[in-house]
């Protein structure tokens, strides 16, 4: 990928990074649903964190990957390492983390301690972060690597959606919601009841022959203390990682339910859960228009000049493909699983009686 | 004030998707979205920068159970909302570079 990009900003920064901070370079290859990423880093810790983050997607070494991502750790970040041009326009502002764009370049800035520059046309990126910032694997993977890698994946036709994905008989139910909406609790209930898992937090969407497929992204599952109390089986987990920053603990679901991860599935339901302070769980149908409007909020970095149009099409197809519901989760935890079961079973039966899939 | 002999021109930054009878418009730069009912959705499809509101009202009247006067009033009301949102502009001369 870099052979024809000698004149690009990313290539120049990679050269600068190699000259100043090179040393021993750790290289990783990851085959993420057919998109091959090569990572190169001067840090053993970054290499370990990214490899752990993408442990489900090992890839074969290749001359020309689809995405190339350099990650350098430095003692002190200076302006020569990916300074954001004055003309770059602000795209997202989450306080400490900001994203800018100018032409094909995207700039991620984490306070004054890290910068990542990605070229969406060449599908290359380079990041520099002060060692002091990268205190945990989670920070490396979710702050330093994932945001602009996710954007490059969109350029390759894979669109991230903030949703848990559960599978039954080859069809999936996507639960769309922000952190705290009950996605992880639902995930654990359903996997316990025999559902396959795409992810408890982020699935990727891809169009194939006019239909939308949901693709797995089985990160470690983050659970709050409250969830731990609700799901007794979690006491069997031996390897918890405590994330003090997020006040949650994470674990690999395969430790509890080996073989539960499913690679891909066709979504039949979009469900928007919210935790309701009531005893009984209720489900209400939602219009596709409203579901699409909400889904746009949960598409990562939906507003990007290069991919918003395609992202909008993908989410529109998704909203048209299945049925959409709002789920108000009550305190009757066992009913949650049954409610989803009924929705998905209803969807399957509907398909069988109509002799085809919806719309 | 939008007049019946004005032409409606869509903003190039607006995307349209049909959701059954309804539709959703998205302003790509701002991220704002706007939902349309079935008459609004049909109006959006018919709007090409070359038809006046009066002509659009004739087409809408042919497809929906609505009087010409009511159609003109509804189109003007919707066009004013869409113009306020920056999704269309009402102009006095036709524009022929619009996509439907």
Read off the pLDDT of residues A234-287 as tens digits, 9 standing for 90 and up: 888 887 777 665 667 788 888 888 899 999 999 999 999 988 888 888 899 998
Most B-contacting residue of A295, A307, A316, A319 (CB-CB within 10 A), to test interface: A316
Alpha-carbon span A82 to A69, nearest angstrom: 14
Question: What helix, strand, coil percent values describe chain B, rounded to 5?
Answer: 35, 25, 40
pLDDT digits (tens, 9 = 90+) for A20-74: 887 899 999 999 999 999 999 999 999 999 999 999 999 999 999 999 999 999 9
Dist. CA A193–CA A14, nearest whole Å: 48
The predicted model scores a pTM of: 0.85
Query: Residue ranges per domain, chain A?
Result: 9-155, 159-354
Looking at the domain that runs over A159-354, which CATH code has it been given?
3.40.50
User: And the tokens for A260?
Assistant: 């539960």
Alpha carbon distance A164, A201 (integer Å): 5
Looking at residue A244, its pLDDT comes to 62
Q: Is ipTM > 0.90 here?
A: no
Sheet holding A124-130, edge to edge: A26-32, A35-41, A67-74, A124-130, A114-119, A105-110, A97-102, A89-94
Q: Are A359 and A266 in contact (CB under 8 A)?
A: no
Say whether pLDDT at A357 is over 70.
Answer: no
Interface of A with B (CB under 8 A): 287-290, 292-293, 296, 302-303, 305, 308-309, 312-313, 316, 319-320, 359
Whole-number Å distance between alpha carbons of A199 and A83: 35
Burial class (CB in 10 A: 0-12, 13-18, 19+), A175: buried
Set of chain A residues whose Cβ sits within 8 Å of the Cβ of B35: 289-290, 293
What SS3 class is residue A314?
Answer: helix
Chain A contact present for B21, CB below 8 A: no
CB contact under 8 A, B17 and A303: no
**Percent of residues in chain A assigned helix, strand, coil, to nearest 5:** 30, 35, 35
């Amino acid at each position: 990928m870099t052979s024809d990009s000698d004149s690009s900003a990313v290539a120049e920064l990679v050269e600068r990074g190699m000259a100043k901070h090179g040393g021993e370079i750790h290289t990783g290859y990851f085959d993420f649903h057919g998109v091959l990423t090569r990572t190169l880093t001067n840090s053993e810790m970054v290499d370990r964190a990214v490899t752990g983050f993408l442990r489900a997607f090992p890839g074969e070494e290749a001359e020309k990957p689809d995405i190339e991502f350099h990650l350098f750790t430095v003692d002190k970040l200076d302006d020569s390492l990916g300074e954001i041009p004055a003309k770059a326009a602000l795209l997202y502002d989450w306080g400490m983390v900001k994203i800018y764009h100018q032409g094909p370049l995207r700039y991620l800035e984490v306070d004054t301690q890290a910068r990542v520059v990605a070229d969406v046309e060449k599908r290359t990126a380079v990041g520099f972060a002060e060692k002091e910032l990268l205190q945990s694997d989670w920070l490396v993977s979710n702050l330093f690597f994932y945001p602009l890698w996710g954007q490059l994946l969109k350029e390759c036709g894979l669109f991230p959606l903030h949703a848990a994905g559960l599978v039954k008989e080859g069809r999936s139910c996507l639960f769309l919601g922000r952190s705290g909406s009950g996605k992880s609790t639902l995930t654990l209930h359903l996997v316990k009841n025999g559902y396959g898992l795409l992810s408890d937090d982020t699935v990727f969407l891809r169009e194939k022959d006019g239909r939308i497929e949901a693709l797995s992204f089985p990160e470690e599952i983050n659970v709050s203390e409250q969830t731990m109390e609700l799901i007794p089986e979690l006491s069997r987990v031996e390897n918890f990682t405590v994330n003090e920053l997020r006040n949650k603990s994470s674990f690999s679901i395969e430790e509890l339910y080996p073989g539960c991860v499913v690679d891909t599935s066709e979504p039949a339901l979009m469900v928007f859960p919210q935790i309701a302070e009531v005893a009984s769980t209720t489900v209400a149908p939602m219009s596709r228009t409203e579901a699409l409007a909400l889904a746009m909020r949960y598409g990562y970095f939906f507003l990007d000049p290069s991919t918003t149009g395609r992202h909008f099409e993908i989410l529109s197809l998704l909203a048209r493909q299945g049925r959409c519901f709002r789920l108000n989760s009550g305190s009757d935890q066992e009913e949650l699983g049954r409610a989803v079961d009924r929705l998905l079973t209803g969807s399957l039966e509907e398909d069988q009686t109509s002799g085809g899939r919806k719309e | 004030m939008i007049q019946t002999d004005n032409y409606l021109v869509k903003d190039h930054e607006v995307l349209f998707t049909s959701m059954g009878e309804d539709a959703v418009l998205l302003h790509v730069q701002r991220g704002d979205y706007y939902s349309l009912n079935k008459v609004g959705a049909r109006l959006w499809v018919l709007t090409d920068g070359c038809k006046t509101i009066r002509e659009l009202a004739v087409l809408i009247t042919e497809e929906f159970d609505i009087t010409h006067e009511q159609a003109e009033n509804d189109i003007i009301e919707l066009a004013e909302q869409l113009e306020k949102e920056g999704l269309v502009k009402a102009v006095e001369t036709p524009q022929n570079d619009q996509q439907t």
